[in-house]
Amino acid sequence: MTSAHLDHSPALYLLIGIILVCLLPLSRRKARRYPPGPRRLPIIGNLFDVPKDFGWKRHKELSRKYGSDLVHFEVFGTHIVVVNSAQAAKDLLDKRSNIYQDKQHSVMIHELTGWHRNFSLLPYGAGWRTRRRLFHQHFRPMAVPQYHSRQTKSVHTLLQMLLDTPNEYREHIRFMTGSTILDIVFGFDIEHDDPRLEQVERGVQTAMEFMASGVYLVDIFPVLKHIPSWFPGAGFKRQTAKWKVLVDAMHEIPYYQFKETMREGKAKPCFASTLLSGAEDASYGSESADEVFMSLTGTAYVAGSDTTLSTLNCFVLAMVQFPHVQATAQGELDRVLQRKRLPEIEDRESMPYVTAVVHEVLRWHSVLPLGLPHRTLADDEYNGYFIPAGSVIVANSWGMLHDEALFPEPDVFKPGRFLRPDGSLNPNAHFPIETFGFGRRICPGRYFAQDLLWLTIANVLATFKLERPLDEDGREIELSGEFTPRVLSMPEPFDCRITPRFEGAEHLVRSAQLHD
């Protein structure tokens, strides 16, 4: 959250000035014992104190400064409470989820850009509950195994691409994650440069663009949504109109293409086919079945593609930066597989170290380090601090997963923190569940994501060696290890060497592709 993203205009500032005068009484309210935070200015509060870049690190610093798990900001009368410890998150977001399960209404998200269809962003209510229930039915732990064969096929395709053009590993990972989701959701067989994949990626990119811009004044002063797009300073209205076209197309075009395929009897069994098969016997209140199903299929793609892509890029960076971890995992893979086959999901029980690597990837850098904000439905109190109804609650999952008390040397990639001394998985270790969210808003696709991550990581480590790039003199180039600073955080682009790690690896990869 940061300063507003609007064009500078004297006319617009005059309008805002009038609104600020109306808000002046709000700055004179009776003081309450809120959680500690930076000193607030009249009217605007902490508008300039809420960090824009790497907010998760700044919030953790403030938590230490004030000696509090909670840090409080106020911006134009809106209370923002940042939760910085796993215990506080459990106490509030899990145990009191009936209070903390709502989402803040955003004019940008819910009215102007078309992102109201993403049910993870919907306020609490019947529409959200319906979507959550339907999604859970298809992605609960008992349902996910039906997708394993498709996940495995996609991973084998990734291996083939890494074999042929390893320098393009980032694009290969992007293709793998996107095509896997479209296959699961619609049964689409996606090829490179497929317009359906490009279309949904353009829609997803709009979210990255508007979230990267910080807070928009229209979310602070909703009356601004009524100003015409030609009004001086209303460039946001013109921009959101362009974004909405892309977001609507992302939700509608593949869905209606699939419906036509299903009508012709050519559809493959998939998430959408199961939804539509039961549509005649279902009722969704004032909403049409199509609207509910488009929300579900669109959310499945958005939630599953870029987060998985970002996590796998973190994995590649970790393996390059910590080669001894890579070697240990590959030793375990060789002991189980004897270099005679590729790993399958059924091998997971026999590979605790590889599983610990997956856990540590999720912990080492949470790709949504501040998650998606919650909103309180009622007043609450925690450790003597008042949290008013309507507060925006930000869970600093990165800060929780870098808590030295839970994870000593948190910046070091150490899969061993999840293992017993005998090398088996430690059931009492703190699994990094925080990266998936909290309470009733926890990611319902987390079991699918964890299985895809395990298959990808195990197969890449079984067949390839990941190393730092070389300079002109053949010396290894040190990587910066920097991450992008905004809502969805991933490693800054970096080069690495990806080569088959033993003589028969290429044969294993090409044989698997032939048999899929």
- Neighbour tally for 224: CB within 10 Å: 23
What confidence score (pLDDT) does residue 126 get?
A: 93
CA pair distance 313, 307, nearest whole angstrom: 10
Between 2.115.10.20, 1.20.1250.20, 1.10.630.10, 3.40.50.300, what CATH number should domain 10-515 receive?
Answer: 1.10.630.10
| Chain Cα centroid distance, residue 32 | 34
Question: Could you tell me what percentage of the chain is helix, strand and coil, using 3-state DSSP and rounding each to the nearest 5?
Answer: 55, 10, 35
What would the DSSP string read from start to end of 89-112? Answer: HIIIIITTHHHH-B----HIIIII
Packing angle between helix 289-321 and helix 169-186, nearest 10 degrees?
Answer: 150
CA pair distance 249, 240, nearest whole angstrom: 14
- Neighbour tally for 496: CB within 10 Å: 19
- Neighbour tally for 264: CB within 10 Å: 8
pTM of the complete model: 0.92
CA pair distance 355, 420, nearest whole angstrom: 13
What does the domain layout of the chain look like in residue ranges?
10-515
Instruction: Check the CA dihedral 337-343-347-353 and report its sign.
Output: positive
Side-chain-side CA neighbours of residue 418 (13 Å)? 21
Beta bridge pairs of residue 72: 81
- H or E element: which one contains 340? none
What confidence score (pLDDT) does residue 28 get?
A: 47
- Neighbour tally for 6: CB within 10 Å: 19
> In the numeric block, which tokens belong to residue 152?
């495995």
Contact 417, 410 (CB under 8 A): no
End-to-end CA distance of the chain: 46
Q: Each residue of 162-201: b (16+ CB within 10 Å) or e?
A: bbeebeebbebbbbbbbbbbbbbbbbbebeeeeebbeebb
Mean pLDDT by 10 residues, the chain (516 residues): 43 54 51 92 93 94 98 95 98 98 91 92 94 96 97 98 98 96 96 90 84 74 89 86 94 95 95 87 82 95 90 98 99 98 98 99 97 96 98 98 98 98 97 97 96 99 98 93 92 97 96 82
| Chain Cα centroid distance, residue 401 | 15
The length of the chain in residues reads 516
The answer to whether 314 is annotated as binding is: no
Side-chain-side CA neighbours of residue 67 (13 Å)? 0
CA pair distance 198, 424, nearest whole angstrom: 42
Q: Residue 34's closest CA among 376, 403, 374?
A: 376
Q: Residue 258's closest CA among 273, 243, 247?
A: 273
Phi, psi of 382 (to 5 degrees): -145, 120
Per the listing, tokens 């490009």 go with: 198
Structure letter (DSSP) for residue 83: E
